[in-house]
Amino acid sequence: MKILPLPILLAGLLICPTIASCSDSATGGSPTPGQRIVDYETARKVFWKELYSDGGTTLYCRKIFGPGYNRGINIEHVFPASWIAYSLRCGKRYQCRARSPAFNRIEADLHNLYPSRSDINKARNNYPFTVIAGEQRIFGKCDFEFDERQRIAEPAPAARGRIARAMLYMADEYNLYLKRKLRLRLQEWDRKYPPNEKEIQRNNRIEQIQGNRNLFIDAHL
């Protein structure tokens, strides 16, 4: 009998406390309403077909996009997938996808997935968020900066509240590692930039799709 490492077992219990709660197919497919999504590939389809079926705006630049495929728009893991892998100690992302059901379910959580301009998503990489003094704006009207040498990124004020609540939710929901300094900054952003109606509506829609809410959003209601 193969014994899984303790972090993976604990993460699995957080997501699947009973056998019945995890009885859906591990191969993906469309989840029933209110059922947790089993992997990122399924989440990607649900993201575009259900969560953003009418289009929307990107997280970092507030770029408007329509329904269906949009060139230059992709999906951002606000809490980076590599950080999830680190917390579960399951290896690299591709390794975790192959051998960790817990990783697959955490990576697929819609509360952590936002539309992003693909060039911004690439620039952000997996850098932690902060405020960069004297930064140069290189994305035109989009207020997003990053420092490749220091491996940090600064989002626009309009995105900071949503970023904070997504990351705090992920850390608490799945007991993922988050540095104390970053947690304090995110808590400050959460207080300073409360959710707007669109963020609240998104939270409601995700509850319909995957069956749970981001309580950091609800705390403002």
**The two three-digit tokens of residue 130, written as one number:** 């902060």
More confident residue, 34 or 221: 221
Residue 119 pLDDT grade (very low, low, confident, very high; cuts 50, 70, 90):
very high
User: Does 120 map to a domain?
Assistant: yes
**How many residues comprise the chain?**
221
Assess whether pLDDT exceeds 70 at residue 24: no
**Looking at the domain assignment, is residue 13 inside a domain?**
no
Spatial separation of the C-alpha atoms in residues 57 and 61, rounded to whole Å: 8
Instruction: Note whether residue 8 is domain-resident.
Output: no
How far are the Cα atoms of 36, 126, 153, 191 from residue 148, in angstroms, in the given order? 35, 11, 8, 28
DSSP per-residue string spanning 76-110: EESS-HHHHHHHHT--SHHHHHHH-HHHHHHHT-G
> What residue has token string 């220091």?
150
In the predicted model, what is the mean pLDDT of residues 187-210?
98
Find the range with the poorest average confidence among 11-20, 60-69, 169-178, 184-193. 11-20
Q: Is residue 127 part of a domain?
A: yes
Indicate the residue type of 178. Answer: L
Whether 19 is covered by a domain: the verdict is: no
Residue 196 has pLDDT above 60, yes or no: yes
User: What's the structural domain count of the chain?
Assistant: 1
> Which pLDDT score, from 0 to 100, does residue 166 have?
98
Find the domain containing 210 and state its range.
Answer: 37-218
Query: Does residue 20 belong to any structural domain of this protein?
Result: no
Q: Are 52 and 67 in contact (CB under 8 A)?
A: yes
Looking at the domain assignment, is residue 46 inside a domain? yes
Tokens 């904070």, residue?
164
In this predicted model, what pLDDT tens digit does every residue of 42-93 receive, in sequence order?
999 999 999 999 999 999 999 999 997 788 999 999 999 999 999 999 999 9
| Cα 184 from Cα 164, distance rounded (Å) | 10
Query: Quick check: is 141 in a domain?
Result: yes
